[in-house]
């Protein structure tokens, strides 16, 4: 029996955030202070605690069409009705159309996911993780301080690709492109390119540092 459209498509309240891209499985702390978003959060706390996070592009003055659903894990109400909350990324979605604009946007969305890989991606994931460790090691050396990777880095290719993408700080447009990919291999390949370039740059800086330090 084919799944009903209500499972694949649903209305979802939307929360645009400037230069913020949420990925599945990743935490997102929020401070809710705008009146319309206080309304949004109070509304969804009475239902399934889920809403969509979309990256807002200030340069284009528009929201991305692909985002990630967030679920409220816990929250705290402050005396002036502001809220602090911790949310967790769930599945990704694509906005098909906006069905309401006020007091906050609500979109008709469809869920999206990566296509099933046609090959074993574990060797590629392991290579990308080694590159990540090289970048951290070189960064530690340049900064003269210890930088430790978390022990709970995902090992599965898809989940690892989301973890790495979520930690590309200061590169929201690149993160958005990685979020929109529905090909785990393509995402890992792009991350391999980014990490290789970063590693080479850090390695060159390390050589310069060692050269001047030895004089």
State pLDDT tens for residues 67-111. 999 999 999 999 888 999 999 999 999 999 999 999 999 999 999
> What values do phi and psi take at 183, rounded to 5?
-135, 110
Cβ atoms of residues 177 and 185 within 8 Å = no
Question: Do 84 and 149 belong to one domain?
Answer: no
pLDDT of residue 69: 98
pLDDT of residue 151: 84
Distance CA 171, CA 152 (A): 23
- For residue 1, being part of any structural domain is answered with no
Question: Of the residues 112, 130, 163, which one is the last residue of a structural domain?
Answer: 112
Question: Do 28 and 73 belong to one domain?
Answer: yes
Query: Which residue from 206, 54, 31 is spatially nearest to 134, judged by alpha carbons?
Result: 206
Please tell me whether residue 45 adopts helix, strand or coil conformation. Answer: coil
More confident residue, 109 or 2: 109
Per-residue pLDDT tens for 174-213? Answer: 999 999 999 999 999 999 999 999 999 999 988 876 666 6
Out of 48-62, 88-102, 112-126, 136-150, pick the least confident. Answer: 136-150
pLDDT of residue 147: 80
Question: Do 206 and 126 belong to one domain?
Answer: yes
Please tell me whether residue 110 adopts helix, strand or coil conformation. Answer: strand
Question: Do 19 and 98 belong to one domain?
Answer: yes
Burial classification of residue 199, based on how many CB atoms lie within 10 Å of its CB (0-12 exposed, 13-18 middle, 19 or more buried): buried
Distance CA 43, CA 49 (A): 9
Question: Do 154 and 204 belong to one domain?
Answer: yes
- For residue 79, being part of any structural domain is answered with yes
Question: Of the residues 65, 90, 112, which one is the last residue of a structural domain?
Answer: 112
Question: Do 78 and 102 belong to one domain?
Answer: yes
54: left (phi over 0), alpha (psi -120 to 50) or beta: beta
pLDDT of residue 2: 38
| CATH number for position 41 | 2.30.130.40
Give the chain's end-to-end CA distance (angstroms, integer).
74
More confident residue, 151 or 118: 118
Cβ atoms of residues 50 and 44 within 8 Å = yes
List for the chain the helix, strand, coil content (%; round to 5): 40, 30, 30
**pLDDT above 80 (res 4):** no
Per-residue pLDDT tens for 132-176? Answer: 999 999 999 888 888 888 888 999 999 999 999 999 987 999 999
Domain carrying residue 196: 122-213
Report the domain count for the chain: 2
């Amino acid at each position: 029996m084919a799944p009903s459209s209500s499972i694949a498509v649903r209305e979802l309240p939307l929360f645009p955030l400037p230069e913020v891209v949420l990925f599945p499985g990743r935490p997102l702390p929020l401070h809710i202070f705008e009146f319309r978003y206080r309304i949004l959060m109070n509304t969804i706390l009475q239902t399934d605690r889920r809403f969509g996070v979309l990256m807002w592009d200030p340069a284009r003055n528009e929201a991305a069409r692909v985002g990630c659903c967030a679920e409220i894990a816990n929250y705290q109400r402050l005396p002036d009705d502001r809220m602090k909350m911790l949310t967790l990324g769930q599945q990704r979605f694509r906005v098909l159309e906006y069905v309401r604009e006020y007091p906050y946007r609500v979109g008709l969305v469809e869920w999206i996911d990566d296509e099933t890989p046609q090959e074993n991606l574990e060797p590629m994931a392991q290579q990308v993780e080694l590159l990540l460790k090289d970048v951290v090691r070189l960064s530690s050396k340049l900064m003269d301080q210890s930088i430790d990777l978390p022990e709970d880095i995902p090992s599965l290719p898809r989940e690892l690709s989301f973890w790495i993408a979520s930690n590309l700080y200061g590169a929201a447009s690149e993160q958005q492109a990685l979020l929109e990919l529905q090909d785990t291999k393509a995402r890992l390949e792009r991350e391999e390119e980014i990490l290789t370039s970063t590693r080479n740059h850090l390695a060159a800086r390390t050589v310069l540092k060692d050269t001047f330090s030895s004089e």
